[in-house]
Structure 1
Amino acid sequence: MSAKGAVETIEPTAAQRTAARRVAEAKATIPDFQASIFYDNAPPLGAAIVAAGRALKAVAAVNGAYVDAKFQHYEAANVGVVLAGATPVVLDADGKTAEAADAEIAAARAALEAGTLTAAASANATFTLSHLAADGIDTYTSIIVPGHAASLAIGARAATLSADARIVTPQDAAAFLKALVAALDGATAV
């Protein structure tokens, strides 16, 4: 026995191995920067999803990817939402209400807990959002998923955009965050 005490080795699940590989790939290959905006009250998850979708439509560079030395801009604003164990996608998030987005994520969470969430439910994201405000996390950064230009971390005190510097400029990041704040005011209406 070492000074560390007893060591337990745990075999990761296939999903955990995939997540570990993708995180390592992202950190090794995506030159990123972060930009934050602070607020008094964090937006609820559904409102954040819808506002992110609307901000993606307003700033094309953030709703895209740098692939094979070319810029790709996506037409749809499909927001993947990080949950423990999966990232279900709210398709066309810009056209939904906060309540509709909340309902989709609640259904995905229930399916994940029941072990019935399909791979299709996590496909076709153009952007990723993680929301830890309810867990008391004030601010943090998220990792950009390969094939995306950026990701958004919603904390209790700040929203932080992590952006791929190859496609998103600091001005694009600022425009996205301004559009996000503007969209939060109308996130419950279509």
Structure 2
Amino acid sequence: MHPDVEVLRATIRVPTVAERDPDLIDSAPFEQLHALLAEHFPLLHERLERVDLGEAAPRALLWRWAGTSSDRPVVLMAHQDVVPVTPDDPWTHPAFAADVVETPEGPAIWGRGTLDDKGQLVAICTAVERLLADGLTPAQDVWLSFGADEEVSGPSAPAAVDELRRRGVEPWFVLDEGGAVAGQAFPGVG
């Protein structure tokens, strides 16, 4: 299996479950995910500026990749958290197994966070890591903002926005997760 697929599967196996009550959040899986990201994306961790959002969002990740200019900064977003597993979930495979299943369209990964949103998180980190390895310096600053509580509308994204605002950063472009990849999801659109 391709190494990038294995990295995605490894992130899916980490149960970074969001909770509405902050006292119920288990930080250990987030720490495990952060260690996994550091292991697989060493250049990102060595060369980008990590911004600590403090107690407002202790599990959130915010990095600045300095470009040759900061006039038109780009923000690439994803989130680390997933929704809890409930006993009545109709899943065919365990939520955190990251099973690879053959489908008529080809192999697919089953697991919490595959689409929402660890796939995007790993894709962004992989792209940045490869560009760093190639020696690229972006034309504009690039910010990576990876929240830890998106599923419960928690404080990670507002804390990142506050920090960017405090630094005078006005994004020119923001890429965040969007609609699902689906065929024939809406009548007449496909």
Taking structure 1 as the reference length, what is the TM-score of the superposition? 0.28
Taking structure 2 as the reference length, what is the TM-score of the superposition? 0.28
